[in-house]
Amino acid sequence: MASLVGSRVERKEDKRFLTGKGRYTADINIANQTYAYFVRSPHARAKIKKIDTSKALKASGVVDILTGEHIANDKIGGLIAGWAIRSEDGSEMKCPPNPPLAKDNVNFVGDPIAVIFAESLEEARAASELVKIDYKVLKAITNLSETMNSETIHEGIDKNLCYDWLLGDRQKVKEAFEKADKIIKLDITNNRLVPNAMEPRACVIDYNTASEEITCYTTSQNPHLSRLIMSAFGGVAPEHKLRVVAPDVGGGFGSKINLYNEEIVCSWASKKIERPIKWVAERTESFLTDTHGRDHVTHAELAVTNEGKFLGFKNETIANLGAYARVFGTVTPTYLFGPCATGVYVMPAAYSNVKAVYTNTAPVDAYRGAGRPEATYTIERLVDKAAIELGIDPIEIRKKNFPTEFPFKQTLVHQVDSGDYFAGLEKAKQMSDYDGFASRKKDSEKRGKLRGIGVTTYFEACGIAPSPVVMMLGCGVGLWESAEVRFNPTGQVTVYTGSHSHGQSHQTTFAQIAADELGVPIENVDIVHGDTDKGTFGMGTYGSRSLTVGGIAIVNACKKIVEKGKRVAAKMLEASPEDVEFKDGEFVVAKSNKKKTIGEVAFACYLPGVRDEVKSPLPEGEEPGLKESAFFDPANFSFPAGSHIAEVEIDPETGDVKLDKYTAVDDFGTIVNPIIVEGQVHGGIAQGVGQALTENAEYDETGQLITASYMDYTMPRADNLPNFNLGFTCTKATTNPLGVKGCGEAGAIAAPPTVMNAVINALDGQEIQMPATAEKVWKACKNLKKSNSKAA
Amino acid sequence: MKKITVEVNGKKIQKEIEDNTILSTFLRDHLNLTGTHVGCDTSQCGACVVHVDGKSLKSCTAFAIDLDGSKITTIEGLVTNGKMHPMQEAFKKMHGLQCGFCTPGMVMSAINLLQNNKNPSEQEIRDWLEGNICRCTGYQNIVAAVKEAATKM
């Protein structure tokens, strides 16, 4: 039987999406439902003096209005930070309370204050105009660099500082810098982004008055985790009376990891008003209240020899947490950022120091790549600057500092199990026709255009897992994954996974894996996810962990099925279990032609006995049925790596940057389905190009988000991008039986420095901050003309 | 309130609706055709594209009452005799979708392109689809799907 792992299998989920049969949360309607509309703060920072809902309560169609006072009276808990990070001085991080509805203070535009339930959405929205709130408006703190010297936003949190974290050895770095021929210095901002899954957040709540169970349909990347937080911290209902279902989810990119105010409020309220509730975010609500990403200001330094050897690295960063610390908010700019900031290089000494601060902006949390794009941008921009200042080719300077052996003990935390950075870079160089750049540049110049080329080599730590490690680093839960495999009596297989697909294609890739392990046709395998009443438990999907953690749990559960199958087959075939081999769906007694298919064995497990033609005695002590489960907790992260090369052409008259060529060579270990991996890389690159060239979430000094619609926040569209040229190398991961590494975030990690290095190359090394908009580039082009005319 | 008569996916439908009911709401909430998605409030994302009298239209931009007497096709109306439309088949073959949310609008818009231009160039496809935002695919496989469909339609 040909292996499905590695094959370009078309997706099993496509038909329903392509025919309009997908079932997203907003598609769900429950008889007698009410519609929720949230009254939100129009101010970035204010004290709430008084809330008057009396008029609104009398408005047409209004069923009830609830406020922060009701939340407090019912002792409903708030939203939480999932990771406890300690400061360099050993002190605990400082987190403000984040109640589901603000009672006394609001801290960003969009902070919810009250919720109206009405018979129709129009009536709920109309009634919101009648809710009167008296505010004492305070000065908004929005400038990241000045935050620590500004007024205190949250009582008791001095300097607005959550923590001042250090990873690495300052003394060693100092010594390394003293030995350097040259110190390369760089000041960069990592622009704030809005993840912008195309499906706006939503929830539909159904409270069953008979069973007292709350069902929450929601747009989540991790329904079990949402249930856990809503139950353990929110106190909405005990876990066995709370069912969270994330049906089809239209993209997440990190923004749907968090449990949000609306899900807690509507779940709690549904029981209170004894009516189902539907809430669907408007796009501007999503812009205002979805967690945002990135938003760092960094000063970094690299100590080098004249030959281009790296001696040491410093990283001083201020990271914006926004108004509140959320689930991955505190770990994203620390352990997901700091360790990767030394890149793919042998770096004798390094440290990363991060000050995470609160501002009057939307909470900042994980967004595709989470910390690793910021890390890669820092080191890869710095290495390019070193290449310019030392007059060394950017590819050569990178090669001089690659590790030559694996496992590679990376400077700050990670033991990288496998990789070959030379192979990837060489392949990218060939595929991009790096050597032909000079002639393409000449051609561009003939047409009055500037052309630049940019290189990035990256590695990242993903497949976020090893529970003992993440818990030691401050994580509040273990990041394993679960799977359950049920072999039905008539031969089909249902696999329950704790991972969640919101575009990742698990229904296909996980079925490929299970079909291979069990030797059954892929058509006979169904993948079930996203419902806390079905799967055992799950930590969900983020950090490129679905395959490397969730997929391996499926492999392990399948292996248990085969083990039991061997024992049962042995009894049926009158052989000893050690003599039974399993291959291509058949249990075969060694050196004989006696065999049973896995379907026959499964059937026997459900019909344990001997009667007439049925001869399926189970071995003594063996339970009937064929169902196994597994929890997988890998020994380490997975470490994908790669080299990306981009070419841009700039029109100096307009500042317009055209991304002309993009080559990506990635090492994801074993590839289960090339079509899907290519799709993941395309999407990641597109988001990374967006960060580099167009996207920017911008708050004004009063804390208003001035990029809160698709008219103002410019994500790449079809006509902004070229086709990407993809290649792969393969060094297998040693920490899981399939040898797989995560692939979902690579593009978003590598693309920003790749594109920016190309833009800066075209601008003769002039520094420019992301996004490289036409205005900024046009100004830089004017500087270029000035300096050229001076030189002449 | 006004009574309108429209043909939706080949079926004649008469409904009494409010003057301010927009077409996307009419399709989703009144006819339960939830394949048409709403991704923004500013007619920017294109997830809600349907065909009205053979032309693609962002269904969040039109009042349903203005379409009295029209023929409307939604993503649900593309399957004939259990067989997907060549554009749907091409999206599947070329992996032109991931989360599936923008997909209905993207497919409807792409079909309308091929109705106007049987053999569009790569650039013409990218220009035409400029009004449909996809956050998952980077558009590459969508463009490939439209090219593939052009050979079948």
Final residue in a domain of this structure, among B77, B109, B126: B77
Mean pLDDT of chain A: 96
Q: Which two tokens stand for residue A276?
A: 């189902």
Domain A480-632 in the same topology as domain A293-464+636-791: yes
B104 interfaces chain A, CB cutoff of 8 Å: yes
CB burial readout A658-672, b (16+ within 10 A) else e: ebbbbbbbbbbbbbb
Give the per-residue pLDDT at A615: 81
Residue B61 sits in the same domain as residue B92: no
Residue B20 sits in the same domain as residue B38: yes
Report the pLDDT averaged over residues A344-354: 98
Residue B72 sits in the same domain as residue B6: yes
Quote the ipTM score: 0.98
Chain-centre distance for alpha carbon A599: 39
Domain coordinates in residue numbering, chain A: 14-19+33-138+201-280, 293-464+636-791, 480-632
Are B88 and A687 in contact (CB < 8 Å)? no
Cβ-Cβ contacts under 8 Å for A702 (sequence gap 6 or more): A44, A140, A142
Residue B14 sits in the same domain as residue B40: yes
Residue B106 sits in the same domain as residue B144: yes
Report the pLDDT averaged over residues A198-217: 97
Closest-CA residue to A82 (of A241, A254, A268):
A254
| Assigned fold of A480-632 | Aldehyde Oxidoreductase; domain 4 (3.30.365)
Query: Is A116 strand, coil or helix?
Result: strand
Q: A472 pLDDT band (50/70/90 cuts)? A: confident
- Which of B21, B140, B142, B147 is most worth mutating to test chain A (most A CB atoms within 10 A of its CB)? B140
Dump pLDDT digits (tens) for A385-423.
Answer: 999 999 999 999 999 999 999 999 999 989 999 999 999
Query: Is A16 strand, coil or helix?
Result: helix
Instruction: Give, for A439, the enclosing helix (H) or strand (E).
Output: helix A437-446
Residue B15 sits in the same domain as residue B52: yes
* DSSP string covering A740-772: B---SSHHHHHHHHHHHHHHHHHTTT---PSS-
* DSSP string covering A362-415: --B---TTTTHHHHHHHHHHHHHHHHHHHT--HHHHHHTTS--SSSEE-SSS-E
Cα distance between residue A752 and residue B140, in whole Å? 19
B37 interfaces chain A, CB cutoff of 8 Å: yes
Number of cross-chain residue pairs from A and B with Cβ atoms under 8 Å apart: 175
Report the pLDDT averaged over residues A193-213: 97
- Return the number of other C-beta atoms located less than 10 Å from residue A791's C-beta: 6
**Residue B26 sits in a domain of what CATH number?**
3.10.20.30
**pLDDT over threshold 80, residue A791:** no
Q: B41 pLDDT band (50/70/90 cuts)? A: confident
Cβ-Cβ contacts under 8 Å for B82 (sequence gap 6 or more): none
A250 interfaces chain B, CB cutoff of 8 Å: yes
What residue type is assigned to position A348 of the chain?
A: P
Dump pLDDT digits (tens) for A176-201.
Answer: 999 999 999 999 999 999 999 999 99
Residue B122 sits in the same domain as residue B64: no
Closest-CA residue to A303 (of A400, A174, A396):
A174
The CATH class given to the A293-464+636-791 domain equals: alpha beta
Final residue in a domain of this structure, among B51, B77, B103: B77
- Measured between beta carbons, the chain B residues lying within 8 angstroms of A201 are none
Report the pLDDT averaged over residues A134-141: 98
- Which of A10, A14, A18, A219 is most worth mutating to test chain B (most B CB atoms within 10 A of its CB)? A18
Final residue in a domain of this structure, among B77, B94, B124: B77
Cα-Cα-Cα-Cα dihedral sign, residues A330, A418, A680, A17: negative
Cβ-Cβ contacts under 8 Å for A333 (sequence gap 6 or more): A296, A317, A319, A321, A354, A356, A371, A374
Are A20 and B33 in contact (CB < 8 Å)? yes
Residue in chain A nearest B88 by alpha carbon:
A18
**Architecture of the domain delimited by A14-19+33-138+201-280:** Alpha-Beta Complex (3.90)
Dump pLDDT digits (tens) for A564-616.
Answer: 999 999 999 999 999 999 999 999 999 999 999 999 999 999 998 888 888 87
Q: A792 pLDDT band (50/70/90 cuts)? A: low
**pLDDT over threshold 90, residue A464:** no
Give the per-residue pLDDT at A784: 87
Cross-chain CB nearest to B98 (options A18, A20, A503):
A503
Provide the domain limits for residue B71: 2-77
User: What CA–CA distances, in Å, run from B57 to A200, B63, B80, B85?
Assistant: 21, 12, 22, 19
CA angle, residues A416, A417, A423, in degrees to nearest 5: 85
Tally of domains within chain B: 2
Query: Is A350 strand, coil or helix?
Result: strand
Cβ(A634)–Cβ(A481) below 8 Å: no
Give the per-residue pLDDT at A195: 98
Give the per-residue pLDDT at A1: 64
For chain A, what is the total number of helices (H) and then of strands (E)?
A: 19, 30
Q: Is the bond preceding A97 in cis, omega lying within 30 degrees of 0?
A: no
Q: Which two tokens stand for residue A263?
A: 């899900």
Report the pLDDT averaged over residues A84-89: 97
Cα distance between residue A80 and residue A226, in whole Å? 11
**pLDDT over threshold 90, residue A788:** no
Residue in chain B nearest A674 by alpha carbon:
B95
pTM for the full predicted model: 0.97
Dump pLDDT digits (tens) for A731-775.
Answer: 999 999 999 999 999 999 999 999 999 999 999 999 999 999 999
Report the pLDDT averaged over residues A324-343: 97
Q: Return the DSSP state at B64.
A: G
How far off is chain A from B122, nearest CA to CA, in Å? 10
Residue B69 sits in the same domain as residue B99: no
Dump pLDDT digits (tens) for A95-110.
Answer: 999 999 999 999 999 9
**Residue B101 sits in a domain of what CATH number?**
1.10.150.120
Residue B135 sits in the same domain as residue B104: yes
- Measured between beta carbons, the chain B residues lying within 8 angstroms of A709 are 40-42, 44
